[in-house]
Structure formats: C-alpha cells, structure tokens
Structure 1
Amino acid sequence: MGFGELFQCHHRRSVLSDDWSTGVRSFSFVYHNKSEADNLDTGRLAAIKRGGTYTDERLSMANPVTESASSLLRRALRFFLPVHCSSCNSLLADDPIPHFCSDCWSKISLMPDSRCTRCDHPFPSSIATTYSPHHVCQPCAERPPSYTKAWTLYPYTPPLQHAIRLFKYQGKVSLAAPLAALMIARLPPLDSIDVIMPVPLHIERLRQREFNQSLLLADGIGRNLDIPIAYTNLIRAIPTPAQTTLSRKSRLKNLRRAFAVRHPDAVVKKRILLIDDVFTTGTTVNECAKTLRKAGSGDVFVITLGRTMDSTMIPDRIMAQRPPSLELLGG
C-alpha cells in the first residue's frame, strides 16, 4: 500500500476541541457517514497487520460516492483558486495530499539501513552493523538514554521538511492525517504497548500554536493500532525557551525537570510509546522518558516522524532543496 492509498484510508474531516483546564487542545475525527460514527461509538475495530504495515480494516472501505464528490469539488476549487505544491511549486491537480503533489510526496526519503540499535542514529557505513547487528553509537555506549529504544522513521529533509514546517509553524492541520499515515507505513513491530503518549507542549506554547503537533500524530497512530492514548498525564510543567537555537549542552540544561507526570499510578509498570515530530539531539524525548521511569513506568519506546541529518549523509539533490537557513526542529 502506497503513501497516497494509506492516506486515503485515514483522510477524514477533523475537528479540534479546547480543554484549556488541562492544557490540551484535543483532536478527533468526524466520519463521513452514520455507520462509521456508530462503529466509533461502539468501540474501535482492532487494527490488523499486513506485511509490516498496520491498517484499520474499517477505514479501508471508502465510500465511492463520497470520494467522487470530494474529488469533483476539489478539482472545481483548484480551477478557480489554483494551488501550488509547497515543495516543487507545480500546479496541484487532484492530488490527495494537501499542499503537495503526488510526485514530491512519493520522493520522501527513507532512513539508511545501518543505524544505532538504541537511538537509531544513522552510521556513515554499513560496516558498523555488518558484524555486530546490535552495535550502538558511542554516545549511547557511554551514556545510555532513559528510553529503551527509539525509531526515527524518515530523514528530516525536503519534501518532508517542508511538510512538517507547514504543519507545525503555519497551522496546516490538514497535513496531520497524511503525516500520521507516513508514520504508520514505517512502524516497527510493537509488542505489548500499554499506552501512547505525545510529547507535551507547555500550556503557554499550546495557546500560541493552538494545537500540539505530536498529539495529532499520536492520535492517528493510536487509532490505527487500537492502543489507548494518554493525552494529559505527561505534561511540560515548566515553560522553556525553544530548543531550535540551543547547543546540545544548553538543551540538556533547558529541559531539566521540565516535565512531570500528573498521575504516577497510571504509568507504574506500563510499557509506554512516546510520539514526537522531529528527533534532533534526542534531549526532549530522553527527558520525557527519564520523567516516566522515575514515576515507575516500565519500558519507554520512542517513535518520531523525522530526524535531522548530518549534511554529509544527505544527497546533493536534496541538499539543494533545503531552505537557506535551516531551522532545527524538535529536541
């Protein structure tokens, strides 16, 4: 199943509802027809696994009339109000991904095969893992992170970089579903996860942005895997400066004791999956994991959509597409 097809399975209208008392702007899907709504009310259908890709059987049965009407409306709107691809600037026709043409979306790069088995940092050569399949990078060997294992699914390079920036900084929440679908397409085998948690924003940052991008991604993954999501238990208790311009040492100091668990009893011995958008140094997810482990949780796993890459590991054709001033995201 391709990215476009997988997105179609997840493409529903979305609504946002505020709950500022708990610092959450929650995300939910509105289904196209009554039968889907009834299914949601009576409980989510268990996700199934086909060839390493998790899909929701109920969502794969698209309504042809609804899809046809949506397609006609989209074409009419784009005839009168032309829209260009945010990556290559070509005119969008009937592309299913908002703001991007299908050609650019299909060119999203994959991570190198040879990576650290703890933090998923890519190695410059496959030799590192050829004779030692469980090889870890030097930082993980010297100072093991608080999380059990991290998976970073795609390099943070164009066009994915463009998509994340639009989603995160320009409020294009219509990209939440296709970005979640990208993550679902590359999910590793996940055994016995008890709960999913998004990396939280402080309430002040949440009010500014009006949504938590990690929560929207976690929502799509949780629905697909039929795993409960704890939206408000892990919180960012201290407002901290943005991580984007800080050195690694400053990031560590910046996030120290920044997170808290509101209900420790709910995480005791639980296997937790943390979701974030971009992995830069790993400081943010590591501090989250450290907080959860101190509260008594079991293993903490991490999945991020993108990972910032050393320029020496990025092909020239992709380097040419990067903005002149690359702003690092995530932590």
Structure 2
Amino acid sequence: MNHFFESIINLFFPPKCPFCGKVLDAVGVCSKCEKDLPWLPEEQVVMTDKDLTCAAPLWYEGAVREALLRLKFRGGSALAEPFGELLARCAAERFGGEFDTVTWVPVSQKRLETRGYDQSRLLAEAVCRHWDTRPMQLLVKVQDNPAQSGLQGEAARRANVLGVYDPADPELIRDRRILLIDDIHTTGATLSECVRVLRDNGAASILCLTAARTPKREKKGKNS
C-alpha cells in the first residue's frame, strides 16, 4: 500500500491490538498482549502427522479464540492484518526458503456471499504483504458442505470435506512448493483434503500454516 494513503487511513482508522483493542502506532499486537498470548511451546509449533506438516504460533483459546471468532463470523475482517504479522513471522522462522507459492483454504461461494469475505484469503494476503508478493488461488470449494465446527470426531470431519475442493487450475499447481494458509487447525481434516488435491495435481511439496491450533488433543498427548 502507498505509504501516504496508509498514513491517511491510520489517521481516521488507527490500528488496534486485536486482543485488547488498544490503539497502536502500527498494525500488530500490543506488548502486554504479546507477552500474555497462549503461544505454542517451541517444540510444538510445527506438527507433522502422516502427510500433513503444519505450523501455528498460538493455541486456539482465550483471547485468541475470541479474536478469530470475530474475524471469521462477526465482520472482523480488519483482524486479518495483525494475525498476518504473526503468521509471517512464524512462516519465516519455521519454513523460510521451503516454499515459493502462497495460497489459502477457500470458502464456498455461498459462504463468501453471506460473510462478505474469505477470512483465510485475507490472512494469506496479509502475510504476503510482509513479503511484497501476493497469494495465488490454487483451490476452489465446489460444495457448500456443513461447517466443520458443528461436527464431532475426526472421521465425521474427514467425510464432510471429502471431494469439496477442486484445483482452480492444475497448471498453476504443478511443481510448486506451496504454503497453504487457514485460520484454525483442529483435527487437520480440511487441511489434509486440500493437501491431497494439491498433491494429486502435481504440487512438489505442501506446508500448512494456521493462526491457531485447537489444544485439546495435544494436551492429552495425541496428534491433532
């Protein structure tokens, strides 16, 4: 964004901490909230389970959960920017040099029309702004399946997303090293299905990145 227009926007709509609402000089998280956030332990930031490798900086609980719910369901699209800064930092630290293309887990057309935006696309765009690049749409959601949040159990979640994603253009996927961005990592069913579609269409490698990970299974000593 042009720095002049950015300064004008910040004058009338100053950036705020996504967790406590404190007005800031620049997009990000205030020092107090950053200290108090539920950061994943260093050894759990990257999780590998079967064919899924996914990094997340935060646990999905407390203020993080509330902020992501606002982003996803309550019109809080501006929250993508501060989360994008956290995601860009995490990706640089954990996956630096391991991808050449950024994409996102898309919502269905019906959900896009209802919500007015795709929160994972906004996160991907916010991340890419830190690297002076843009994400590419590599997947489309071809079915408006029930929300994963309303389903119990990994088997039900995996069945719910089977076949709901198609490649936007297989030629754009072939031989790419992809960073796939989503908002929340729960069981990994959605991410795994997207990874499968990308791999079946010739992706060289796929790494996943989410803003937060649901803590339940990890804290019981199981993989998510």
The bucket for the TM-score relative to the shorter chain is 0.7 to 0.9
Q: 1:270 aligns with which of 157, 176, 190?
A: 176
Kindly report the root-mean-square deviation, in angstroms, between the aligned alpha carbons of the 2 structures.
Answer: 3.2
User: Which aligned pairs between 1:130-169 and structure 2 lie closer than 5 A?
Assistant: 140=49, 144-145=50-51, 147=52, 149-169=53-73
Cα gap change, 1:113/1:263 in structure 2, threshold over 3 Å: closer, same or farther? Answer: same
Aligned residues with identical type, % of pairs = 26
C-alpha offsets along residues 179-212 of structure 1, whole Å, 9 cap, x if unaligned? 1112123222321522111100010111111111
Aligned length, in residue pairs: 216
Cα gap change, 1:94/1:229 in structure 2, threshold over 3 Å: closer, same or farther? Answer: closer
Structure 1 counterpart of 2:106: 200
Structure 2 counterpart of 1:174: 78
Counterpart code for 2:54: A
C-alpha offsets along residues 74-94 of structure 1, whole Å, 9 cap, x if unaligned? 6xxxxxxxx9x9867xxx664
Structure 2 counterpart of 1:261: 167
Q: 1:104 aligns with which of 33, 44, 47?
A: 33
Counterpart code for 2:202: G
Kindly indicate whether structure 1 or structure 2 has the higher relative contact order, using CA contacts under 8 Å at least 6 residues apart.
Answer: 2
Counterpart code for 1:70: L
Cα gap change, 1:96/1:167 in structure 2, threshold over 3 Å: closer, same or farther? Answer: farther
Instruction: Give the Cα separation in 2 of the matches to 1:219 and 1:277.
Output: 13
Structure 2 counterpart of 1:70: 11
Superposition TM-score, scaled by structure 1 size: 0.58
Structure 2 counterpart of 1:20: none
Q: Residue 237 of structure 1: CA displacement?
A: 1.0
When Rg is computed on C-alpha atoms for both structures, the one with the higher figure is 1
Q: Which has the higher helix share?
A: 2
Instruction: Give the Cα separation in 2 of the matches to 1:94 and 1:150.
Output: 32
Q: 1:283 aligns with which of 179, 189, 192?
A: 189
Unaligned runs of 5+ in 1: 1-29, 37-62, 75-82, 120-139, 315-330
Instruction: Give the Cα separation in 2 of the matches to 1:254 and 1:311.
Output: 20
Q: Residue 264 of structure 1: CA displacement?
A: 0.6
Instruction: Give the Cα separation in 2 of the matches to 1:194 and 1:152.
Output: 19
